[in-house]
């Protein structure tokens, strides 16, 4: 199977099409706050406007993540979450109708088995997987495995990426290119340089015509609204994870769902993309 034959890949492309306006992606680690509650929350997020669901593979050393997501990963691991739970979470989340993309660090993929990981994701109904710390030496094996399984390979693009690496990552990407709003760990709540982000997204669009998804540092609905005209989607994680950590049970669940609705409304009210992808300028 190739990705053109995977209905989840088609749903992802549909969610990120320019004429639809920027989509909201919501990130949640598998098994957090527990296995059943996490699945229920993912379905609730889709019902409240999330156009894409991103499922995280809990990791012991999440080098790109800040305190909130690191704590959520730790909680999931202490509760016994393993890759089998990730695949089950993907399968249940995909039943919501929203495309599901998995975010995993390379150590988890290599330990599980590269082809096995890709094949099991496809079987579970995932649209693809993003591996932000994918080593250059492992790029070809991962792309080959994903191509065989028929899933997308979204790519994380560092803010300081060289032109050479940007060309390589653009060629490797399918599904989306992930443009961090800041060069920081997840959960960043400091100032955003919107002018710098505008230059960054223009640079990405000049190298490849994939949808752009922004994340990291988009901590409020107002920030999502400000970033929205530059990208095709916005992914939030820490703003959802924090209330689930701070207020266990129904209060935290209610606040997380309310935040999804707030971000959805902010993106709905945002200005349209200034240029379609097909005419992106450097």
> How sure is the predictor about 53, in pLDDT bands with cuts at 50, 70 and 90?
very high
| Residue of 55, 46, 56, 57 lying closest to 23 (CA atoms) | 46
Average pLDDT over residues 214-241: 96
Give counts: helices (H), strands (E), the chain: 12, 8
Q: Is the pLDDT of residue 257 over 60?
A: yes
Predicted confidence at residue 3, as pLDDT, reads 57
Which listed residue (3, 65, 119, 232) is catalytic?
A: 65
Task: Find the DSSP H helices in the chain.
Answer: 7-15, 35-47, 67-78, 83-94, 106-112, 114-124, 139-149, 163-172, 194-207, 221-227, 238-246, 250-268
Cβ distance 90 to 119 under 8 Å? no
Average pLDDT over residues 228-234: 96
CA distance linking residue 125 with residue 34, whole number of Å: 21
Predicted confidence at residue 278, as pLDDT, reads 36
How many residues does this entry show for the chain? 282
Average pLDDT over residues 184-208: 93
Average pLDDT over residues 14-21: 89
In Å, what is the CA distance from 221 to each residue of 144, 202, 269? Answer: 38, 23, 10
Single pTM value for the model: 0.92
Mean pLDDT, the chain, rounded, equals: 93
The residues that bridge with 213 in the sheet, in sequence order, are: 178, 233
Q: Is the pLDDT of residue 151 over 70?
A: yes
Predicted confidence at residue 280, as pLDDT, reads 34
Q: Is 65 considered catalytic here?
A: yes
Q: Is the pLDDT of residue 276 over 80?
A: no
pLDDT tens per residue, range 104-130: 999 999 999 999 999 999 999 999 999
Predicted confidence at residue 1, as pLDDT, reads 61
Domain ranges for the chain: 3-151+219-273
Average pLDDT over residues 7-22: 92
Which listed residue (3, 54, 119, 120) is catalytic?
A: 54
Task: Find the DSSP H helices in 32-113.
Answer: 35-47, 67-78, 83-94, 106-112
Average pLDDT over residues 224-249: 96
Predicted confidence at residue 270, as pLDDT, reads 76
Determine the straight-line distance between the first and last CA of the chain, rounded to whole angstroms.
35
CA distance linking residue 202 with residue 207, whole number of Å: 9
Q: Is 40 considered catalytic here?
A: no
User: CATH number of 3-151+219-273: 3.40.190.10, 3.20.20.70, 3.40.50.620, 3.30.70.2740?
Assistant: 3.20.20.70
């Amino acid at each position: 199977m190739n990705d053109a034959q995977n209905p989840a890949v088609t749903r992802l492309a549909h969610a990120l099409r320019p004429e639809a306006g920027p989509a909201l992606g919501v990130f949640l680690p598998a098994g957090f706050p527990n296995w059943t509650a996490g699945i229920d929350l993912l379905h609730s997020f889709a019902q409240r406007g999330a156009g894409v669901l991103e499922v995280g593979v809990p990791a012991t050393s999440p080098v790109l993540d800040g305190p909130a997501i690191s704590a959520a990963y730790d909680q999931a691991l202490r509760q016994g979450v393993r890759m089998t739970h990730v695949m089950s979470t993907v399968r249940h989340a995909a039943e919501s109708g929203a495309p599901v993309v998995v975010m995993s660090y390379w150590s988890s993929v290599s330990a599980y088995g590269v082809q096995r990981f890709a094949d099991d994701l496809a079987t579970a109904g995932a649209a693809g997987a993003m591996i932000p710390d994918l080593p250059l030496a492992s790029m070809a094996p991962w792309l080959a495995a994903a191509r065989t399984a028929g899933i997308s390979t979204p790519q994380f693009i560092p803010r300081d990426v060289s032109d050479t690496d940007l060309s390589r990552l653009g060629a490797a990407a399918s599904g989306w290119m992930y443009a961090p709003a800041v060069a920081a760990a997840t959960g960043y709540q400091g100032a955003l340089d919107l002018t710098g982000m505008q230059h960054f997204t223009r640079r990405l669009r000049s190298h490849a015509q994939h949808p752009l998804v922004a994340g990291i540092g988009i901590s409020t609905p107002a920030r999502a609204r400000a970033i929205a005209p530059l990208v095709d989607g916005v992914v939030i994680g820490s703003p959802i994870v924090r209330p689930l950590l701070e207020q266990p049970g129904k209060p935290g669940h209610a606040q997380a769902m309310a935040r999804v609705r707030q971000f959805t409304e902010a993106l709905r009210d945002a200005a349209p993309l200034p240029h379609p992808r097909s005419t992106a300028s450097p």
